[in-house]
């Protein structure tokens, strides 16, 4: 059965009607949802799923410590490879959700590296992602690594360097592809032409 990894930025606290409509389609199709336990988008989506009495949800958390589980859904405890509670600690659950999901729905604040990493993980596993870019209030369907490259070249240089650093530079392809516009570059946060 198709499973959807829903995630997003910790700075996204509210879901607008367009995002709720996408989640409603997931609910209508009775697709299982894989979601993390972070504050922000994870917590907001959990609260919305609970308000809709949706039961096809599995919450992933690290080392059995769950920060948020609004619907008392089944928990999946994931062992981390590090003890320091930084992005490496929490990414262990994201990797498993990307492995197990059939597709992704990411709610991005325009700056979150974690959300970008999850988009990459899904696309690199040949899984499509619906991306909602909150600053522009726009959806994009990302279907391939070519779409990933289009997104990367439109990011501000500092954000791109942080992605390279987090991935040790070998996970990401940063070739300068100018094919098509995923988002109008001038509308991305931190854009410097």
Domain segments of the chain as ranges? 4-144
Do 140 and 165 touch, CB atoms closer than 8 A?
no
Sequence-separated (6 or more) residues with CB below 8 Å from residue 19:
107, 132
Chain segment 91-119, per-residue pLDDT in tens: 889 999 999 999 999 999 999 999 999 99
pLDDT at 20 over 80: yes
Question: Which phi and psi angles does 103 have, rounded to 5°?
Answer: -160, 170
pLDDT band at 167 (very low <50, low <70, confident <90, very high): low
Residue showing tokens 């996204």: 12
Written out in words, the top-level CATH class of the domain with range 4-144 is: alpha beta
Distance CA 136, CA 102 (A): 26
Q: Can you read off the two tokens belonging to residue 43?
A: 């917590």
Residue 7's H or E segment, with its range, is: strand 4-8
Kindly report the average pLDDT of the chain as a whole number. 85
Name the DSSP class of 84. S
């Amino acid at each position: 059965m198709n499973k959807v990894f829903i995630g997003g930025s910790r700075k996204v606290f509210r879901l607008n009607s367009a995002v709720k409509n996408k989640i409603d389609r997931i609910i209508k199709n009775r697709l299982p949802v894989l979601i993390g336990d972070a504050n922000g988008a994870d917590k907001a989506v959990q609260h919305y799923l609970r308000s809709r009495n949706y039961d096809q949800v599995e919450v992933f958390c690290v080392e059995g410590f769950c920060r948020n589980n609004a619907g008392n859904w089944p928990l999946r405890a994931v062992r981390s490879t590090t003890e320091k509670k930084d992005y490496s600690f929490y990414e262990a659950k994201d990797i498993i959700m990307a492995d197990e999901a059939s597709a992704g729905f990411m709610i991005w604040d325009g700056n979150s590296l974690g959300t970008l990493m999850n988009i990459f993980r899904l696309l690199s596993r040949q899984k499509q992602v619906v991306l909602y870019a909150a600053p522009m209030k726009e959806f994009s369907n990302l279907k391939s690594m070519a779409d990933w490259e289009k997104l990367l070249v439109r990011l501000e240089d500092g954000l791109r360097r942080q992605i390279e650093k987090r991935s040790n530079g070998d996970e990401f392809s940063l070739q300068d592809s100018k094919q098509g516009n995923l988002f109008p570059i001038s509308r991305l946060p931190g854009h410097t032409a």
